[in-house]
Structure 1
């Protein structure tokens, strides 16, 4: 079971910020072999959902209130360390993120931009596909909505 910590950008310690950027880079840039601008200027507006196994950051998302990223609240940068995925931490970090949106933003309507190969994972969390697939950083994505 993950230990969850939720922080605004200015509440993150330097070590927490370093760890979350390192995790995002390890998975999105190195593992997925995708050169893109991860540090996009949006972290300052997000709440950061950090998932720890013991004292190691193994899962992460960032969440946005309605209007900050999409019209709806949103969850992005969903990531779990590769050698920790067997523990279903993806579900744990997403459920914590959905709960955080309800608690902090008082809404259940959430839009995400999901990598297509993860559609079933998000379907299991009650997200439904909307619209057509599209390329984002050369990776097939689809918009999904949960209400």
Structure 2
């Protein structure tokens, strides 16, 4: 399994198609959320994934905003769930961020049912639960550096 990270400009058309297909399958179809899944953040984000034989199995995007670094669109392809890929992806992403000697607050709008997963990496709740696209979320933050 390979850990990959690329800017939007460096993605191949095939990689971009896989990313968008997976994100729509999970966040729009599976979670039944009608929203603008492809957005302007993609262009400035780092796209991070685990790949095997050219197939993306787990994915997230990493992007900078004025208030710090953000994780978003974290997913594991449905047929590869329960194999520890989300843990592996997040572990390698955090190692990458630390290797870059980035000192920041890493933030995520996490789905509430994943609260303990993110807490296991040191993320802390910084908001009360709220609904986003009909799904309960909570803002979480991890101090890096």
Q: What is the TM-score when the length of structure 2 is the normalising length?
A: 0.92
Question: What are the equivalent positions in structure 2 for 1:1-147 lying under 5 Å apart?
Answer: 2-67=1-66, 71-104=67-100, 106-147=102-143
5+ unaligned residues in a row in structure 2: which ranges?
none
Deviates more, 1:94-103 or 1:16-25: 94-103
Offset of residue 138 of structure 1:
1.1
Offset of residue 102 of structure 1:
2.8
Q: Contact (CA 8 Å) 1:63, 1:101: kept in 2 or not? A: no
Q: Contact (CA 8 Å) 2:5, 2:47: kept in 1 or not? A: yes
Give every structure 1 segment of 4 or more consecutive aligned residues whose post-TM-superposition deviation is greater than 3 Å: none
5+ unaligned residues in a row in structure 1: which ranges?
none
Offset of residue 66 of structure 1:
4.8
Number of matched pairs: 143
